[in-house]
Amino acid sequence: MSGLNLDDFATLIERPDPGVRRDAEERRTRLGPPAGALGRLDELGEWLAAAQGTVPVKPVDRPKALVFAGDHGVAELGVSRGPAGGAVELVRAALDGTSCGAVLARRAGVELRVVDMAVDCDPGELPEEVTRFRVRRGSGRIDREDALTAEEAEQAFRAGMAIADEEADSGTDLVVLGDLSVGGTTAAGALIGALCGTDASVVTGRGAFGIDDLAWMRKCAAIRDALRRARPVLGDQLALLAATGGADLAAMTGFLLQSAVRRTPVILDGVVTAACGLVAQRVAFRAPDWWVAGQASGDPAQAKALDRMALNPLLDHGVTVGEGTGALLALPLVQAAAALAAELPERS
């Protein structure tokens, strides 16, 4: 491996400014609605103020929806309702504006950026701005082989860091993070199971579109076998992502950590982003302070990961589709919290 030292993140990542947060809490006592009347919107407004380092908080007017895309070899086992190698169709729908995430992003006036990390298609089938960070065509079958080589894992991780820098440099003030994948929830379940020390059955969900009992059993067996391969490398997060993650998950992990370095707040979507967050927390324990969980998808692995990161989802509507959809649904709440904290007048 080259000079990438994950230990640096623990030093570089600071918590959102606690002094600013106290100032925001104190200012809230002077606003019209009594304490508690706005529920979690108060907490969100204070979190944003601390992240921005300013009171009153500034409006969230330059959010970006960002989805990382990839195929996972484990999908060959029939662990998903989506076909193996089917991520390219999800990407095309997002680019065409016909996916759930694209519809919600358009409705919210938010730009949707798609990043292909390991889609199983010829790169010429997709726009160059989508494929320019691609690491490989599909990821390995994690029940029996590594998802990535060590070099590919570092390349993907660094790509995520570079994208975080691009977004911060362009003025993005909040990121809605999601994934477009087939087999990604299986990889996510393996990562979460390994990091939480649980059996496969505890972290095996029904996936984005729901699977029947036989497919669930196949998925549970795949996660069980992946856990056997993950446990020996638990002390090395890049090696863990190479063994049982994938290029899209490695990139999202790098993105989350570098976004925390750059003080860019993030809304997490479902189980895949939660898994990446859990890996990132193992690298730098303060990193989750820069994120909120947009929604509870009902996936048991997501619930396990969010509990470990002490993140309480903003919404619980049973949305499992992925694509950043659940996080996009939560975005108006975050924007509303910022607007109320900034625009409500102080009592005279």
Task: Map 287-342 to HEC letters.
Answer: HHHHEEECECCCCHHHHHHHHHHCCCCCECCCCCCCCCHHHHHHHHHHHHHHHHHH
Let me know whether 47 and 98 are in one domain.
no
pLDDT-based confidence at residue 210 (cuts at 50, 70, 90): confident
More confident residue, 347 or 181: 181
Let me know whether 149 and 125 are in one domain.
yes
The answer to whether residue 272 sits within a structural domain is yes
Let me know whether 214 and 167 are in one domain.
yes
pLDDT at 93: 97
pLDDT at 318: 87
CA distance 237 to 241: 6
pLDDT of 47 over the 70 cut: yes
Mean pLDDT of the chain: 96
Please give the tally of structural domains in the chain: 2
Domain residues for 35? 7-58+339-343
pLDDT-based confidence at residue 209 (cuts at 50, 70, 90): confident
pLDDT of 308 over the 60 cut: yes
pLDDT of 263 over the 60 cut: yes
Q: Quick one: what percent of the chain has pLDDT higher than 90?
A: 91
Let me know whether 184 and 139 are in one domain.
yes
Domain of 320, CATH number, reads 3.40.50.10210
Q: Quick one: what percent of the chain has pLDDT higher than 70?
A: 99
pLDDT at 271: 97
pLDDT at 208: 75
The answer to whether residue 186 sits within a structural domain is yes
Mean pLDDT of 77-105: 95
Sheet holding 111-118, edge to edge: 111-118, 63-71, 174-182, 266-268, 291-293
The answer to whether residue 206 sits within a structural domain is yes
Let me know whether 38 and 104 are in one domain.
no
pLDDT at 191: 98
CA dihedral (26, 31, 36, 40) in degrees, to 10, reads -80
Let me know whether 143 and 26 are in one domain.
no
Q: What is the DSSP secondary structure assignment for residue 345, as one 8-state letter?
A: P
pLDDT-based confidence at residue 2 (cuts at 50, 70, 90): low
The answer to whether residue 157 sits within a structural domain is yes
Let me know whether 209 and 186 are in one domain.
yes
Let me know whether 68 and 102 are in one domain.
yes
The answer to whether residue 209 sits within a structural domain is yes
Query: What are the b/e assignments for 110-143, b being 16+ CB within 10 Å?
Result: bebbbbbbbbbbeeeebeeebbebbbbbbbbbbb
pLDDT of 50 over the 70 cut: yes
Let me know whether 140 and 159 are in one domain.
yes
Mean pLDDT of 186-191: 98
Let me know whether 106 and 146 are in one domain.
yes
Let me know whether 52 and 69 are in one domain.
no
**Which of 323, 277, 298, 92 has the alpha carbon at shortest distance from 204?**
298
The answer to whether residue 1 sits within a structural domain is no
- In one-letter notation, the amino acid at residue 298 is G
Mean pLDDT of 25-50: 93
pLDDT of 174 over the 50 cut: yes
Catalytic residues: 323
Mean pLDDT of 153-170: 98
The answer to whether residue 155 sits within a structural domain is yes
Q: Where are any strands of DSSP class E within 183-304?
A: 266-268, 291-293
Mean pLDDT of 162-190: 97
The answer to whether residue 2 sits within a structural domain is no
Whole-model pTM? Answer: 0.96
pLDDT of 133 over the 70 cut: yes
* Structure-token pair, residue 127: 């726009």
pLDDT-based confidence at residue 1 (cuts at 50, 70, 90): very low
**Which of 280, 259, 286 has the alpha carbon at shortest distance from 165?**
259
Let me know whether 33 and 177 are in one domain.
no
